[in-house]
Amino acid sequence: MRYAKVVLPLPLHNTYTYAIPAHLRSKLRQGFRVIVPFGKKKYYTGIVADLTDTKPEGFEIKEIFSIPDEFPILKRPQLQLWNWVADYYLCSVGEVFKAAIPAGLKIESETFVELNPDFTDDTTPLNERESIIIGVLRQSSKKISIGDIEKKTGLTGVGLTLVHLLDKGIVNIHENLAERYQAKKETYITPEFSKEESQLQSAFKLVKGAKKQEIALLAIIEMSGLMRGESKEIKSKELKERADISQSILKALEQKGLIRITKKEINRFSYSGLISGQLPTLSEDQSSALEEIHNSWREKDVTLLRGVTSSGKTEIYMHLAKFVLEKRRQVLYLVPEIALTTQLTQRLQKVFGDKIIIYHSKFTDNERVDIWKKLLHTEEPYIIVGARSSVFLPFGHLGLVIVDEEHDASYKQQEPAPRYNGRDTAIVLARMHGAKTLLGSATPAIDTYYKALTGRFGLVELTKRFGDSLLPEIRIIDYGISKKRGEVLGSLSLATKNIIDNSISEGGQSIIFLNRRGYAPIVECKNCGWSPKCECCDVTLTFHKQTDRLTCHYCGAVYPMPQQCPECKEPNIEIKGYGTERVEDEIENSFKNISILRMDRDTTRNKDGHQTLIHKFSSGEAQILVGTQMVTKGLDFGKVSSVAILNTDALFNTPDFRASERAFNTLEQVAGRSGRRSDTQGIVAIQAYSTNHPVLSFIRKHDYIGFYNYEIEQRKAFNYPPFTRLIYIYIKHKDKEAVEELSIAYTHRLHHLFGNRIFGPEEPYVGRIQSLYIRKIMLKIETTASMQKVREILRDLYLNFHSTGHRFIKSAQIYYDVDPV
Ligand code: ADP
Ligand code: ZN
Ligand code: ZN
């Protein structure tokens, strides 16, 4: 084929066609990476989506610049999944590409060039462009980037010229891939002599007088098993540790021809811990749930496992995974990002050893490329445990997808595009592989449970905790009344404090949850009411005591804490309310001789912060853990006998139709951390002002079904999902007038197309973030409508609106958020 249709990592709605240089035609296939010029100066890594012999009309066709690999870096059906995501979530396939592939596999503009040192033939004819470029290369002692070449020569589009110079053997071209991605290598030592007497003697003769070399030689003989006639490779690291040998000694031995030093690429992720290979025997309830799941898969591709907290869902997942591995197929085990702690991964690794591959956002780019390559070149059965973006990995032979905590809002990517839901994408991925999906949760999303009840998904339920430990007792504490009676100690009511005290005096631990980090969320001048706002966002700032700064929780900007009010100049600045930092402070003072840990975004910034805290708490180093929603997810601490929930009202008061659902899930999940393995029942103290909120009446009895029935009525009455489908349209601009004008114009067009299914535009709860004003329009579609049609209309409108050239369009952002959460 002569032309390739290439996907670029840009928000472009089409593929771009490039000519394939003749010598690459036989090699290039779908899924290959190609380096291509785009725009005036830029080079990008693209992916070949298709090949054709038809030359597209009306374009200037550029040529593919180079191919970095000998093989495609995508596996079937990855491209198909990209297209599905782009189509369903109304974004470009280039945006999906960008999210799907680790940055280490993308080369952007950073291709480096140097003169080929072996090239000596001065008689090769050169044209003017070529000689200018060579001139620049001669002046520079090292490799230089294409961008720099263009800067220094003043030429544009040097790509093709470089290809010609490459063909003539005058330059070398290095992809910066080699610079970004580095394989991890390990050094090995092997002796170059045998155990034969004469050889040994001459070996020792060679090191005679060099004491350290002699010691090294002895260690090498021993560790390689030479005297037993073996010739094991020795890890240089182990040798150095064992015999305190430096690199220079090894080099000396190598020069004397006594050893060979080799470097081997190794995988970063080999697991060296204990492997039991054993799965616990399932209880009777668990076994029948397992069987029901298998049965349900005979008819349905997707099954929901609703199991109360600590019922043993994870154990069931492991049994299913083992079953699928034995059939030599792969398993994708999705969890919310934050649940990817050693708690879960070690539990899995103990059983499956290095059959477990972990993938998440805190990995370095090198690590991600390693995993990508490992999966790319194998059909071996593995269990890939990862956060949402692992749906994009190159699976081969996927047999099962597990989505744990399927209700979790963090499965949805908010920013940037693709704004996809990892759970729903995983279901589609499974289907493409002919695999089954299991969704698991103690508190399934209302939409999911609805689908299960109406037969779209299978449904299996586990209603008892493992080992018959009881679900915790819920005590709802009226914080308003406590306060009136003077029965509070800062953020805690005395009743709550007593509950925590009791747990600890009985040797247990306690978790305190509140959904706010920092010290105090409200800062105010007592005199004139002034309160500090972010310069770029329409939000008030939170005071952080540790840094003595005011912080914007939307854009991260920090400001000094003023000593006096900037408005009235009075030194009467007051702080109000509680964040995790303040609660920690306060508890330190009111509980004596007790250690406290705090887990929130501020204490878990570095790679292992989260891990370390969990380890400390589970090993009993502290009695109390204070934290944000990070403490609600998937943790399994056996000694936690009480949980306190502060500032509960904030959970109910978010302006969203899912507020109740989210509040119920959060409360039930946090409560579920309590009493997981004790004989005595755990206790949960919920402090609230609005103690009569309906959600609390269901939480009190751990009544998911009751809550579901209540909530589904609300959804029906107000025509919300699952009875309709939602798409939000966001319009952002740095100018207020522009955002008004654009959103009115866009809404006008939408009205024309969708009539009274359009609501808005409205200013969202936070109307400006990072200097952009925001407007939101809502589209509510009846479930019987053709979504295909709706998507087509929306896409056309988007393209059309952009091409008509509204005066603010160039500087605006407009995007769709499909199935918002
Ligand atoms: P869930 O995922 O539903 O919250 P887990 O699978 O984490 O529940 O189980 C809760 C606790 O009970 C864990 O510590 C787990 O090891 C233990 N457990 C569950 N099922 C079994 C079993 N069949 N045998 C032994 N321990 C079990
Ligand atoms: Zn003031
Ligand atoms: Zn801000």
Please write the tens of the pLDDT for every residue from 39-86.
765 778 899 999 999 988 887 899 998 888 889 999 989 999 999 999
pLDDT of 177 reads: 41
| Closest ligand to Cα 766 | 3
The answer to whether the CB of 633 is under 6 A from ligand 1 is no
Question: Mean of the pLDDT values across residues 113-126?
Answer: 78
Query: Considering only CA atoms, which of 618, 621, 666 is closest in space to residue 645?
Result: 666
Strand order in the sheet with 398-404: 356-359, 383-386, 330-334, 398-404, 436-441, 302-307, 458-462
The span from the CA of 351 to the CA of 633, in Å, is 22
The answer to whether the CB of 307 is under 6 A from ligand 1 is yes
517 phi, psi to nearest 5 deg: -100, 175
Compare 116 and 668 and report the one with higher pLDDT: 668
pTM of model > 0.95: no
pLDDT of 406 reads: 97
| Closest ligand to Cα 347 | 1
Compare 471 and 597 and report the one with higher pLDDT: 597
Ligand 1 atom 4: residue of nearest CA: 310
The span from the CA of 92 to the CA of 7, in Å, is 10
The answer to whether the CB of 668 is under 6 A from ligand 1 is no
Q: Inform me whether the pLDDT recorded for 678 exceeds 70.
A: no
Among 306, 310, 317, 673, say which to mutate for ligand 1: greatest number of ligand atoms within 8 Å of CB: 310
The answer to whether the CB of 280 is under 6 A from ligand 1 is yes
Query: Considering only CA atoms, which of 525, 613, 521, 510 is closest in space to residue 576?
Result: 521
Question: Mean of the pLDDT values across residues 681-697?
Answer: 95
Lowest mean pLDDT among 383-397, 592-606, 629-643: 629-643
At 758-767, the pLDDT tens digits run 999 999 999 9
> Is there a contact between 475 and 499 (Cβ–Cβ < 8 Å)?
yes
Ligand 1 atom 26: residue of nearest CA: 280
The answer to whether the CB of 312 is under 6 A from ligand 1 is yes
Lowest mean pLDDT among 203-207, 328-332, 361-365, 789-793: 361-365
How far, in Å, from the CA of 544 to the mean position of ligand 3? Answer: 15
The span from the CA of 614 to the CA of 608, in Å, is 10
**In DSSP terms, which residues pair with 818 in a beta bridge?**
727
Ligand 1 nearest-atom number relative to CA 311: 3
Strand intervals (E) in 394-525: 398-404, 436-441, 458-462, 473-478, 488-489, 492-493, 509-513, 522-525
> Is there a contact between 259 and 232 (Cβ–Cβ < 8 Å)?
no
Alpha helices (H) in 474-602, listed in sequence order: 479-484, 494-505, 580-590
> Is there a contact between 818 and 90 (Cβ–Cβ < 8 Å)?
yes
The one-character DSSP state at 94 is H
Burial of 789 (0-12, 13-18, 19+ CB in 10 A): exposed
> Is there a contact between 550 and 543 (Cβ–Cβ < 8 Å)?
yes
pLDDT of 178 reads: 38
The span from the CA of 614 to the CA of 710, in Å, is 36
Tell me the residues surrounding ligand 3 (ion) with CB < 5 Å: 534, 536-537, 552, 554-555, 557
Ligand 1 nearest-atom number relative to CA 283: 23
Output the average pLDDT for the chain: 90
Among 438, 461, 636, say which to mutate for ligand 1: greatest number of ligand atoms within 8 Å of CB: 636
The answer to whether the CB of 157 is under 6 A from ligand 1 is no
How far, in Å, from the CA of 532 to the mean position of ligand 2? Answer: 11
How far, in Å, from the CA of 454 to the mean position of ligand 1? Answer: 29
Strand pairing category for 383-386 and 356-359: parallel
> In b/e form, how buried is each residue of 516-525, taking b as 16+ CB within 10 angstroms?
bbbbbbebbb
Task: Please give the C-alpha separations between residue 512 and each of 555, 584, 679, in angstroms, as whole numbers.
Answer: 27, 9, 22
How far, in Å, from the CA of 677 to the mean position of ligand 1? Answer: 9
* Vertex 615: Cα angle to 613 and 621 (nearest 5): 85
Q: Inform me whether the pLDDT recorded for 179 exceeds 50.
A: no
Task: Please give the C-alpha separations between residue 110 and each of 32, 156, 272, 344, 528, in angstroms, as whole numbers.
Answer: 19, 15, 37, 39, 55
pLDDT of 274 reads: 67
> Is there a contact between 683 and 642 (Cβ–Cβ < 8 Å)?
yes
| Closest ligand to Cα 540 | 3
**In DSSP terms, which residues pair with 780 in a beta bridge?**
726
| Closest ligand to Cα 559 | 3
The answer to whether the CB of 311 is under 6 A from ligand 1 is yes
Record the tokens describing residue 725, joined without a space: 């489908």
Q: What is the C-alpha radius of gyration for the chain, rounded to an integer number of angstroms? A: 31
441 phi, psi to nearest 5 deg: -170, 155
